[in-house]
Amino acid sequence: MFRMPLLILIVTALPAAAGDLIGKPSVVDGDTMEIAGQTVHLAGIDAPEAAQTCRDADDVTWSCGLEATFALATIIGAQQITCTSESSNDQGEQIAVCFTGPHRINAMMITRGWAVADRPNASDYLSEEEDARVHKRGLWRGSFEPPWQWREKQP
């Protein structure tokens, strides 16, 4: 009787790179989370602030900042995420690219129309932003003030 050798594959998780943050985040707003007490801002994107409003195609005001916050929470769901820090700001908060499995959360927020490419700081997501604009997703279903301009006007 011919017997094939038993091949055993051992799959191990690769250790996270030094400085990666891994965990189940608490969503603060559409581009900010907290993981294990560390504030993380999604690099290269800017989402409306939680209090920001926008106008839809019928010129009706809606809570786009809250919707962006909910969109980020929906993308993450109950999953653990991995964030790779690119830098930190003056407050020690991490600026990072975050993933849920193989999916880049930063890009997903822009593709779905809930954030814009962070200008003038980064242009990594301009093609995703254009796709969302053309298909009138999220913020693009009407008119909105870019988040950085809205923040400048706040007291």
Residue 19, pLDDT > 90, answer no
Angle, alpha carbons 62-120-102 (nearest 5°): 75
Residue 134, pLDDT > 50, answer yes
- Which residues are CB-contacts of 77 (< 8 A; sequence separation ≥ 6)? 100
Could you tell me if residue 6 is inside a domain? no
* pLDDT of res. 11: 28
Could you tell me if residue 4 is inside a domain? no
* CB 24, CB 78: distance < 8 Å: yes
pTM recorded for the entire structure: 0.84
* CB 104, CB 82: distance < 8 Å: no
Question: Could you tell me the residue range of the domain that residue 97 belongs to?
Answer: 21-145
Could you tell me if residue 64 is inside a domain? yes
| Both structure tokens of 34 | 């907290």
The model's confidence at residue 58, banded by pLDDT at 50, 70 and 90, is very high
The model's confidence at residue 5, banded by pLDDT at 50, 70 and 90, is very low
Could you tell me if residue 139 is inside a domain? yes
Q: Mean pLDDT, to the nearest integer, of 21-48?
A: 95
The structural domain count of the chain equals 1
Could you tell me if residue 104 is inside a domain? yes
Could you tell me if residue 152 is inside a domain? no
CATH number assigned to the domain comprising residue 36: 2.40.50.90
The model's confidence at residue 18, banded by pLDDT at 50, 70 and 90, is low
Could you tell me if residue 2 is inside a domain? no
Could you tell me if residue 107 is inside a domain? yes
**Any idea what DSSP says for residue 107?**
H
| Both structure tokens of 101 | 């499995």
- Dump pLDDT digits (tens) for 59-91: 999 999 999 999 999 999 999 999 999 999 999
